[in-house]
Amino acid sequence: MVDRCSKCGAKFVRFPIKDEQGKIIWKNLFKMDMMSILFLICIIFMVIGYMQDIKQCNKVIEDPCGFCDKSGCCEITYQGPEQTFEAPTLNINIDN
C-alpha cells in the first residue's frame, strides 16, 4: 500500500513485500487489506484445484480402461435399445 506522509506529503510503501536483499517478507503479506488476503486465498484454491485436475487427467491417460471400468461411463454410453450392426461386405470376383 502506498501512503503519503502527513508532514511532508512524500509517498512511501506502508507494508513492503520485499526487503533490501529481494527476499519476500511473508508477514507483510498478511498485513494487507482484506481484499488482498481474499485474493491470495482464491489463488491458492485455484492452484490446488488445478493440481487435483492434472492428477485425475494423468490417471485417465495412464489407465483409460481402468478409468472406464471404475467410473461406469461405458455402461451409460451403451444403454439403450439393442442394435445389431452388420459390417458391409465387399464382393469382388477376381478372375485368374
pLDDT tens digits, residue range 10-68?
A: 876 777 777 788 888 777 776 767 787 888 899 999 999 999 999 999 988 898 888 87
User: Sign of the C-alpha dihedral, residues 27, 31, 35, 38?
Assistant: positive
Q: Is the pLDDT of residue 79 over 70?
A: no
> What band does 92 get if pLDDT is binned at 50, 70 and 90?
low
Same domain, residue pair 27 and 38: no
pLDDT tens string 2-19: 667 778 878 767 777 777
Q: Is residue 82 part of a domain?
A: no
> 7-38 burial string, b = 16+ CB within 10 Å, else e?
eeeeeeeeeeeeeeeeeeeeeeeeeeeeeeee
Q: Is residue 87 part of a domain?
A: no
Whole-prediction pTM: 0.46
Q: Is residue 93 part of a domain?
A: no
Here the cell at position 91 is 464382393
Domain that holds residue 52: 33-69
